Amino acid sequence: MTRIAIFASGSGSNAQNIAEYFADKNEFSISLILANKPDAYVLNRAKNLNIPSFVFTNKEFQTSEIVINKLKEHKIDFIVLAGFLLKVPSNLINAFNNKIVNIHPALLPNYGGKGMYGMNVHNSVIENKETESGITIHYVNENYDEGQIIFQAKTLITPNDDAESLASKIHILEYKYFPEIIEGAIRG
């Protein structure tokens, strides 16, 4: 049994989609959902899904062992960042070496790095009149969006698209691919 923790900062629609994908797979359990904001909607989803949750502050995350201790308490083996916007500190990366994956809503290395998250990414892609965007699923290292890439998928951008419609296209790709790529990364 692989026990998975999901970190999210906001809505958590990917977290829910991942939880639903793994719900009927006996070798996997979504065992904990963690958020860095007490009002993050992902916490409501965790409650509805009957998954334990844990909230921490940015400072606790960066300067203490609280989060690592919580992960140990729940015997977590693998971590998924799904719409999680904080930089992961090195103590956590070292404790889960090659066992943390993130999804980024663009084709890295383009549109990555600090400040490039959520709608900021889609606004920049549209402003630059790109003709395609996509998703990148990658291992997490100490630099934003620079870990080894596991998978990318593309979507076309039409002249009618705006940041909102692009975000919807990206979410569709995320829901389709992220759970199975997580499963593959765990199975190795």
For binding to ligand GAR (CB under 6 A), which residues are involved?
Answer: 8, 10-14, 82-83, 103-105, 117-118, 121, 170-171, 174
- The set of residues, in sequence order, having a beta carbon less than 8 Å from that of 93 and lying 6+ positions away, is 100, 140, 141, 142
Q: Which residue is nearest to ligand GAR (CB)?
A: 83
Minimum CB separation of residue 146 from ligand GAR in Å reads: 12
Nearest residue (CB) to ligand GAR, 67 versus 81:
81
Going from the C-alpha of 30 to that of each of 68, 76, 176, the distances in angstroms are 17, 9, 18
Minimum CB separation of residue 72 from ligand GAR in Å reads: 25
Taking the CA atoms of 134, 165, 128 and 140 in sequence, report the sign of the dihedral they define. Answer: negative
- The residue written with tokens 């070496």 in the block is 97
Minimum CB separation of residue 83 from ligand GAR in Å reads: 3
Assess whether 104 carries a catalytic annotation.
yes
Nearest residue (CB) to ligand GAR, 32 versus 103:
103
* Token couple for 78: 């693998």
Active site residues: 104
